Amino acid sequence: MPATAATPPRPPIQLLPDLLISQIAAGEVVDRPASVLKELLENALDAGSSTIQIQLEEGGVKLIRVSDDGAGIAREQLALALTRHATSKIASLDDLERVGTLGFRGEALASIAGVARLTLTSRQRADSGHRAAGGETSESGGSGGTAHAWRLAGEPGASPEPAALLAGSVVEMRDLYYNTPARRKFLKSDSTEFAHCAEAVKRIALAHPEVAFTLAHNDRVSLHLARSDAQRRAGAILGDGFLAESRPLEVSAGPLRISGYCALPAYSRARADGQYCYVNGRFVRDKLLAHALRAAYQDLLHGSRYPAYCLFLEIDPATVDVNVHPQKTEVRFRDSRAVHQFVFHAVQRLLSTPLATAPAPTADGTGLAQALNGSPAYWPDGGAGSSTTSADAAAFAARVPYQCSLGVGEPSSSGAYLAFIDAARAPAGGPPATLPSPPADPDLPPLGYALAQLHGVYILAQNSQGLVVVDMHAAHERILYEKLKGALDEQQLATQALLIPAVFSAEAIDVAAAEEYAETLQKLGFELAPMGPRQLAVRRVPALLQAADPAALARAVLGELREHGVSQVLTARRNDFLASMACQGAVRARRLLSVAEMNALLRQMEETERADHCNHGRPTWTQLTMAELDRHFLRGR
C-alpha cells in the first residue's frame, strides 16, 4: 500500500505586524497615485483650506506634494496623525452616522506611509484650537497655537524636527510602491497616471469653488483655478460649451436639495465621462442616482449615448451612509426610493419644460392652447371659420397648394402676424418689398413667425433675437410622440376611420397575429381585418397618425407585437413603440407647408414638453442671433 504524503502543519494564528497591516489597508485605499492625491486633497479641504497647491513628478509616482493653508497640526499630534485609526473627525458611533467631513477613518496617511516615503510638515494656526478639521492631515488636538512649524517622517521611531513653513500643512509622498515592486508593475505610463490625477483634482474642485487650486506636473503648471462661484468653476473645468448647452437646476423638497447643471441631449457623449454627481460635496458613483438620471433622459437620448451633468445632492448626513466603500465613492441611502424619485422628477421636469410655459394671449383674449384645440384656424383658402380677407386669400394664392393637413391650426386672431406678412409681400407687378422686422410685441412667441421653407426640410422663422431654423420632421415627430403618450396614458386615443380601407399583402403569421391581438390593436387605435389568407385591410388608425402610410404602420405594429408580445409593447417597450409610430407619422422631407401650417407647428413646439429634441436626441431647432449674423458678415468693422 503506497505511503500517503504527510499533511503539512498549519501555521498558527498570529497578529500581523503594523507595517503589513498598513500595506494591506493601502491595497484598498491606494491603487494608483490618483488615490493618494484624492485622500490628501480631502484632508486639506477638511482642514479649512482656501488655497491648495499640488506638485507632481512622473505622473505622481515619484512625487506628490500637497500644500494647503489650513488649520495645521500641533507638534504633539504629528505622530498620532500618522497612526492608523487616529482622527479628529469622529469620536463616537453618533459621529460616524452623521459624518459631515470628506475623511473620517483615520487610516489614509498610515496606509500611504506603508507603501511610500511620506513626510508631514505642519504649522498650527493660533485660532485652530483643539480641533482642526483636516482629518489625517490635520489631526490637531493640541493646546493653542505655536510659533514654529514641525516636520515628521513617516518612519518607525522618527520624531518631529523644526521646519520652515508659513502656515498650514505640506504632505509629501515620494516613490510610491518602492517597497512593493510587484504592485508598481501594475501602474500605467506617466501620462496616464497624470491624467487620472488631474481628473481627481477636477472632481474635487468642482464641489469647492471657494477654494483655489493649482496643479503642476514636472515643474509645469497644467491647471490653475482661482476662487470663484459654482457657475464659473463649472465653466473652467467642464468648458463654456457645457454651460451653453445645459440648463441650471435648483430644486428643494423637505430635507433634499439638488442643484447644478444638466446638459441638453445635443451635448450627449459616446462615453459616460461627462457625469459628475455629488452627495454632500463628495463625488460618488452611485447606481441609484445613475439610474434615476438615466431614466430622466430616457425620452431624449439614443440608447448608445450618455448624458452629461454636474449635480450636487444635499441630504441630511444621518440619512446617508458613506462608510460602504474603501474609497468612499459609493453611498447607501436610508430611503433610497424617495431619493431616486426626487432626483428623477427634478431632472425630468427641467428637461421637459416647454419653450412657452404659458399660452400666449391672442388678439381676442383667448389663450394659445384654446386656439390650438378647436378655435377657428387661419387657413389660406378662406373657408368656413376663417377670419381672412380676400386680399389675404389672393396673397396666398401665389403659393403652391399644400397637401393634406397636419392636423394643427394657427390661432384665428393673428393680426400682428398678418400685417407682418402683408408688408413683406410685393403687390402684383410691383417691385419687391423689403421684409420688415417682426411686430414689437412683448408677448412675441419664443420661436417667432415663419418666413419660408428651405428645400422642404427646414422652417425659417424670425423671432426677437434673430433667425430660427427648425427641422420640421424632428419637431413634428416630438409633438406626435408626446401626444401619443398622453392619449395612451389617459386611454383617450382618438381614431380615424379610413374612407377606403388600405389593403396590403401580408404573411400568414401577420394575419394570425392580427386576429390574436385584435383587442390590443384596438387599444392602440388600429382596426385590422383579414381580407384573405394573405391579405389584411387597415380600417382605422390613430387620428394623430392619419397622414402616415396605413400599411406601413400596420406592419410595424404587428412586427412589434410578434417580437415582444403584448405585455412588453404596453409596458417596458411602450415608449420605443410610440416613438417608432411618431417617426412614421411625422411630416416628411420635401413636403411643402403653408405659412399657416409652419406657424402652427412652431406654436405647438412651444407648448410641447421636450420639444428642443426629437425622440432620438437630435436637436429640433437652433437660433442664430443677430450678433452672430453680424459677426459672420463682418458688420460693424
**pLDDT confidence bin for 132, thresholds 50/70/90:** very low
* Separation of alpha carbons 465 and 447, rounded Å: 9
Higher pLDDT: 109 or 259? It is 259
Amino acid present at 66: V
Q: Give per-residue pLDDT as tens, 208-226.
A: 999 999 999 999 999 999 9
Task: Output the pLDDT for position 566.
Answer: 83
Residue owning grid cell 454636474 = 310
Lowest mean pLDDT among 105-109, 426-430, 508-512: 426-430
Q: Give per-residue pLDDT as tens, 468-495.
A: 999 999 999 999 998 998 888 888 888 9
Tell me which residue of 588, 619, 623 sits closest to 455, measured CA to CA.
Answer: 588
Higher pLDDT: 587 or 252? It is 252
- List, in order, residues 6 or more apart from 489 with CB less than 8 Å away: none
Task: Output the pLDDT for position 374.
Answer: 34
* CATH, domain 18-225, list 3.30.1540.10, 3.40.50.970, 3.30.565.10, 3.90.1300.10: 3.30.565.10
pTM of the predicted protein model:
0.71
Q: Are 528 and 538 in contact (CB under 8 A)?
A: yes
- List, in order, residues 6 or more apart from 591 with CB less than 8 Å away: 403, 456, 472
141 pLDDT higher than 50: no
The three cell numbers locating residue 328:
468612499
CATH domain 230-351 topology: Ribosomal Protein S5; domain 2 (3.30.230)
Mean pLDDT of 608-614: 87
Task: Output the pLDDT for position 294.
Answer: 92
**pLDDT confidence bin for 389, thresholds 50/70/90:** very low
* Separation of alpha carbons 481 and 335, rounded Å: 34
The three cell numbers locating residue 504:
396590403
Q: 306: which DSSP letter?
A: B
Distance, CA of 500 to chain centre: 47
Residue owning grid cell 403653408 = 594
Task: Output the pLDDT for position 54.
Answer: 96
Q: Give per-residue pLDDT as tens, 267-326.
A: 888 888 899 999 999 999 999 999 999 999 988 887 678 999 999 999 999 999 887 777
- List, in order, residues 6 or more apart from 442 with CB less than 8 Å away: none
Q: 581: which DSSP letter?
A: H
What are the structural domain ranges in the chain? 18-225, 230-351, 438-637
What is the percent of the chain with per-residue pLDDT over 90, rounded to a whole number? Answer: 41
Q: Are 113 and 82 in contact (CB under 8 A)?
A: yes
Q: How many CB atoms lie within 10 A of CB 21?
A: 16
Task: Output the pLDDT for position 573.
Answer: 79
Task: Output the pLDDT for position 452.
Answer: 92
Residue owning grid cell 427648425 = 470
Lowest mean pLDDT among 3-17, 505-519, 603-617: 3-17
Q: Give per-residue pLDDT as tens, 62-89.
A: 999 999 999 898 888 888 888 877 777 7
**What architecture is domain 438-637?**
2-Layer Sandwich (3.30)
* Separation of alpha carbons 634 and 637, rounded Å: 6
**pLDDT confidence bin for 53, thresholds 50/70/90:** very high
- Residue 356: strand, helix, or coil: coil
Distance, CA of 389 to chain centre: 49
Q: How many residues can be counted in the chain? A: 637
Residue owning grid cell 401580408 = 506
Task: Output the pLDDT for position 601.
Answer: 93
Tell me which residue of 308, 315, 342 sits closest to 331, measured CA to CA.
Answer: 315
Higher pLDDT: 478 or 590? It is 478
**pLDDT confidence bin for 453, thresholds 50/70/90:** very high
**pLDDT confidence bin for 391, thresholds 50/70/90:** very low
Q: How many CB atoms lie within 10 A of CB 357?
A: 9
Backbone φ and ψ for 255, nearest 5 degrees, come out as -80, 0
- Residue 22: strand, helix, or coil: helix
State the DSSP string of 498-547: EEEEEEEE--HHHHHHHHHTHHHHHHTT-EEEEEETTEEEEEEEEGGGTT
Mean pLDDT of the chain, nearest integer: 81
